[in-house]
Amino acid sequence: MPWRVGPHDRRDGVRPDPYRVWLSEVMLQQTTVAAVRDYFHRFIARWPTVLDLAAAEDADVMGEWAGLGYYARARNLLKCARVVADQHGGTFPDAREGLLQLPGIGPYTASAIASIAFDRPETVVDGNVERVMARLHDVHTPLPRAKPELTALAAALTPQARPGDYAQAVMDLGATICTPRSPACGICPWRDPCLARTNGTAADLPRKEPKKPKPTRHGIAYIARRNDGAFLLERRPDKGLLGGMLGWPGSDWTDTPDPAPPMQADWRALPAQALHTFTHFHLRLTVMVADVGHANPQTGQFLPPATFRPSDLPTVMRKAFDLARAEFDTPPD
């Protein structure tokens, strides 16, 4: 992983860059390594240091983050970079307590950065570590109720020597050997003490409380195109879902949304809806499109083709645009 410093390099005195560790940990919250990798490379290429990121335009950072989801993370990323730049001279605090004071850094992320970047003996417990601990100790309490127990078991194993290497090793063990479906117990360095392997329960662990079914909400997105090819977009309020991101004007997302067109026009509904799943609900978005001549709306902003990048949109808004593209296939007047 591009943010890692391996044990051999560490032994030779190479220290991890706390900026890279922090950036990767924020990106990895709720997101897989595979999804994060390209975003990480792009951020590092564009903003190589925390001072560069702190000086970035908000819209540029939100645009680069588009598609990665959980957009509050991007807003907090910027806030955190600016606090580190303004209040800490561009240097991250080197212990968990100091890191916890920064925007967007919760207990898990603070422990991970303190451990990985600064080799502090903090207990780092992600989903991989929970699974390894549940199996190693044959814990049958279901998650999330088992979290305190699994954290205590992980804490008891955290060593004083090379805790950064240890934390990454246990996470990697969970990601590559003690995998959810078919753990490779035969090559596992913990196969001898592992109680789940002895008891034949590994495949059933960790247990999980049944998930509640997600409700479905409905919404309406309005995609207006002007004669010059510009599209009407708005920046969403900082607070709330997709906060601070570019998007199409639209209704609230509810059981029965009220129409909320941004202007009078000959709106027509597309036959297909944009479907998207958020953490707590499914969304079915009806997409309305209109050619609006030379209109000047009171809200939002028409972005000309030269500055509108669909990749700056969050995924659900991009799905709506993908549906509308065919409708706008014919060139404007």
Q: Which residues make up the interface to ligand SF4 (CB under 6 A)?
A: 132, 135-136, 177-178, 183-185, 188, 190-191, 194, 196-197, 202
Residue in 25, 64, 122, 130 annotated catalytic: 25
Whose Cβ is closer to ligand SF4: residue 192's or residue 258's? Answer: 192
Reported as type and span, the H/E element at residue 269 is strand 268-269
Whose Cβ is closer to ligand SF4: residue 96's or residue 197's? Answer: 197
Whose Cβ is closer to ligand SF4: residue 174's or residue 300's? Answer: 174
Q: Is 25 a catalytic residue?
A: yes
What whole-number distance in Å separates Cα of residue 154 and Cα of residue 173? 14
CA 101 to the chain's CA centroid = 21
Token pair in block for residue 146 = 């088992």
Amino acid sitting at position 112: A
What whole-number distance in Å separates Cα of residue 136 and Cα of residue 181? 16
Closest distance to ligand SF4 from the beta carbon of 127 (Å)? 14
Whose Cβ is closer to ligand SF4: residue 20's or residue 197's? Answer: 197
CA 180 to the chain's CA centroid = 21
Whose Cβ is closer to ligand SF4: residue 191's or residue 235's? Answer: 191
Closest distance to ligand SF4 from the beta carbon of 147 (Å)? 18
Of 207, 209, 206, 208, nearest in space to 135 by CA: 206
Closest distance to ligand SF4 from the beta carbon of 149 (Å)? 16
- Between the CA of residue 86 and those of 43, 50, 79, 89, 246, what are the distances in Å? 20, 11, 10, 6, 27
Closest distance to ligand SF4 from the beta carbon of 210 (Å)? 23
Closest distance to ligand SF4 from the beta carbon of 153 (Å)? 12
Is 122 in contact with 170 (CB distance < 8 Å)? no
Q: Between helices 18-28 and 33-46, what is the axis angle to 10°?
A: 140
Count the alpha carbons within 13 Å of 309 in the hemisphere toward its beta carbon: 12
Token pair in block for residue 314 = 């969050």
Is 136 in contact with 194 (CB distance < 8 Å)? yes
Is 217 in contact with 282 (CB distance < 8 Å)? yes
Count the alpha carbons within 13 Å of 255 in the hemisphere toward its beta carbon: 1
Whose Cβ is closer to ligand SF4: residue 181's or residue 294's? Answer: 181
Closest distance to ligand SF4 from the beta carbon of 120 (Å)? 25
Closest distance to ligand SF4 from the beta carbon of 130 (Å)? 12
What whole-number distance in Å separates Cα of residue 272 and Cα of residue 208? 36
Whose Cβ is closer to ligand SF4: residue 131's or residue 225's? Answer: 131
Length of the chain: 333
| Catalytic site positions | 25
